A and B are shown apart, each in its own frame.
Chain A
Amino acid sequence: MSHRNWPVLAALPVLAIVAAPAWAADYMTVEQAQHALIPQAQAFTAIPLTLTPAQMTRIRQMSGTPQRTAQPKVWRAQRGAAMLGWIIVDEVIGKHEFITYATGISPDGHVLGVEILSYRESKGGQVRDPRWRDKFRGKTLADPFRLNQDIPNISGATLSSRNVTDGVKRLLAIHAVALAHAG
């Protein structure tokens, strides 16, 4: 590229910005995630849940990662009187910034699905890939949740994929400790 082509350099960002629609780092609202994870549900009712210190300790023991907040954000999914499962919205850190994700959990503790609500880093966004997220479907606390074992690693996004994997297991532990018998 000769110096006469320098204007190309300046034009690139200008073109890109002008041509592109407005966009933020958020891919999905909580409501959209709820319906994507348990589409047959008619209502999602927020459950005010406060974990006791003993429960938080138990969650850490079961999942291997600490539960940082005593008030996880939980919704009960229902169709009429039938309880279809739970939605928990949570955050884990990627490499340097937070990933916000939602996990659907069946009444008996199976992962119904994982959705990424917000991803803020410039790299590692492959955790949004539905083919990767589908690998969580059906998993229970009995599964190892080990990267490159039962959950594939994403080359170049190791930290993000690892921390989401740990996070989903931790949400299953929340379900087991505080929700499984709540109906």
Chain B
Amino acid sequence: MKKIAALLAATCLATATPAIAADVSLEAQVAQLKAQVAAQNELLASQAARLEQIEARLRAASEPAQSLAVAAPPVVDQGTTPASAPTQALAVNAGRAGSGAAFGSDTTIGGYGEITYNGYLKDSSRNQADLKRLVLFVGHRFSDKLSFTSEIEVEHAVASAGDEGEVAIEQAYLDYAINSSLNLKAGLFLMPFGFLNRSHEPPVFYGVERNEVETRIIPSTWREGGVSLYGSTPFGLNYDVGVTTGFDIAKLDDAGAPLAGSHQELQLAKASNLSFYGSLEYQGVPGLLVGGAVFSGNATHNNADFKADNALPDFSGITSRITLWDVHGRWQHKGFDFQALYARGTVSRAAALDGVVAAYNAANGTVLTLAPSAFYGWYAQGAYSIALGGEATLDPFVRYEKFDTQAVLPLGLLSDPVNRDRLLTTGLSFHPLRSVVVKVDYQKFFQNKDNNRFNLGLGYMF
């Protein structure tokens, strides 16, 4: 019996040994699996973190597009008569068709430019091709009421010490919309005279070259630094009044364009005295515009130029005022476009100024420009737009101008014939698209016949 018991015990022992071994193996496997699960958890956590990073990057990358959409959120709730604020219910057409492209919802860019060719009939050595200007517009809206407008211009393709080109800021001002008929602007802005000074994009004016009157008499592009209140009334009257910088007659350097030759363009502008201007335009009848403007300001600035540099003419004791006014009208109807303008400027105490300059020239052998007492110009223009299908139009035009930048000279001085003329300009504007124009015209100068020329131009705006 004892033997049997011993045998059974031995058998049990013998069979028990593999069982123990199996338990040990199982534990090892469990431990291994646990390690694998932990590793996988770690991997998942790591991948989740990476995924989060990627999503964050994607969100950041898509923010501009979302900002864009802010300007044009859809009116999703199409319930009956939404009570939402108008700005929320506005934006429907999210496309940026038309001029100007938006960055986000607040900053816009645009621009215009022109390339011209002048062919002189009597002296081909004067023929010239020029990338006349390229202007970039940058605007920014800070809020519903406050915005910024700027134009940066490069003229004649290259601006450097050895070239005739220039880089200029044409506009840079802040605009505050006070109410629907009253706005305030401050900074460097265009003066509201004539037509060209405010609308000088090549596709919107006739002729390759800007007209002479709005170049020599109104010094387009004429801008001043200052503050202005402007707006429009419900009955179609637009007004613009302001206090600005003005001209500096001591720097006059062009008898053929007295104001372009003495404007300051807010470049370290002499501002001992400020100027005033006011403009009224009536547009109460669709298609019609009649208006006028007047500017007046002291142009000697307490003899500032001489005080800064005693080598210059001394205008002490002379206070001179430059005044400019214009009247203009336009009637557009059934394809016709008639336009006329008259502008006249005066320089007070021109005799005293020119007495100083004449004495200075005699003493120093210089040829500094003498100021006129008065200068003027006018033009009348007619055009007709022929639809060619699609957006294309062909617009023939004719314009007659007369100008005299030395209409009245003091001291019995004789004017230079090159500074007065009558001219006839006739040509075509072809618009393959509305914002692109190809121009060709011929200009006949009645007085200075050597200036007769034909012109070609390519212009665009966006």
Contacts and interface: CB of A to CB of B under 8 A. Distances in A.
Interface of A: 1-3, 5-6, 8-9, 12-13, 16-17, 20-21, 23-31, 34, 43-48, 64-69, 71-73, 75, 89-98, 100, 117-118, 120, 122-123, 125-126, 129, 131-132, 135, 144, 146, 148-149, 152-156, 158-159, 162-163, 167
B337 A148 contact: yes
Interface string B215-255: 00000000000110100100010100001000000000000
Nearest to B297: A1
B178 A16 contact: yes
Contacts of B110: 95-96
B71 A126 contact: no
B385 A148 contact: yes
Interface range on chain B (Cβ under 8 Å from partner): 35 or more
A129 B283 CA distance: 9
B90 interface: yes
Contact of B92 (A6, A21, A44, A72): A72
Contacts of B289: 155-156
Nearest to B337: A148
B286 interface: yes
B229 A12 contact: yes
Given A89-B90, A89-B92, A122 B177 contact: yes
A149 B90 contact: no
Given A148-B337, A155-B289, 12 more contacts: A1-B276, A3-B273, A34-B81, A73-B92, A89-B90, A90-B93, A91-B72, A96-B99, A118-B87, A129-B283, A149-B385, A153-B287
A30 B285 CA distance: 27
Contact of B71 (A25, A30, A68, A98): A98
Nearest to B144: A24
A153 B298 CA distance: 38
Contact of B333 (A6, A13, A152, A167): A152
Given A1-B298, A64-B391, A126-B283, A46 B99 contact: no
Interface stretch (B20-28, B115-123, B180-188, B348-356): B180-188
Contact of B80 (A26, A44, A66): A44
B78 A163 contact: no
Contacts of B71: 98
Contact of A8 (B83, B182, B243, B281): B243
Nearest to B275: A1
B80 A46 contact: yes
A30 B77 CA distance: 13
A156 B198 contact: yes
Contacts of A120: 141, 144, 147
B313 to A, nearest CB: 22
A158 to B, nearest CB: 6
A17 to B, nearest CB: 7
12 contacts: A20-B182, A73-B74, A92-B93, A96-B99, A96-B137, A97-B139, A97-B141, A120-B144, A149-B387, A152-B286, A152-B333, A159-B99
Contacts of B74: 69, 71, 73
Interface in B82-119: 82-87, 89-100, 108, 110
B81 A75 contact: yes
B29 interface: no
Given A46-B79, A126-B283, A96 B100 contact: yes
A26 B175 CA distance: 16
B419 interface: no
Contacts of B336: 148
Given A23-B145, A148-B333, A91 B274 contact: no
Interface in B160-195: 175-180, 182-186, 195
Given A1-B275, A20-B178, A48-B78, A69 B89 contact: no
A159 B336 CA distance: 18
Given A93-B98, A159-B98, A23 B175 contact: no
Nearest to B242: A12
Given A13-B186, A66-B97, A98 B91 contact: yes
B366 interface: no
Contacts of B182: 16, 20
B149 interface: yes
Interface in B251-301: 272-276, 281, 283-287, 289, 297-298
Contacts of B147: 120, 122
Contact of A2 (B84, B89, B185, B273): B273
B18 interface: no
Contacts of B75: 30, 46, 73, 89
A91 to B, nearest CB: 4
Most buried by A among B71, B86, B96, B204: B86
A132 B195 contact: no
B91 A9 contact: no
B86 A26 contact: yes
A142 to B, nearest CB: 15
A44 B283 contact: no
B210 interface: no
Contacts of A135: 286
B107 to A, nearest CB: 10
A91 B95 CA distance: 9
A21 B177 CA distance: 11
Nearest to B328: A155
B287 A152 contact: yes
Given A93-B96, A129-B286, A9 B274 contact: yes
A131 B86 contact: no
B93 A68 contact: yes
Contacts of A5: 274
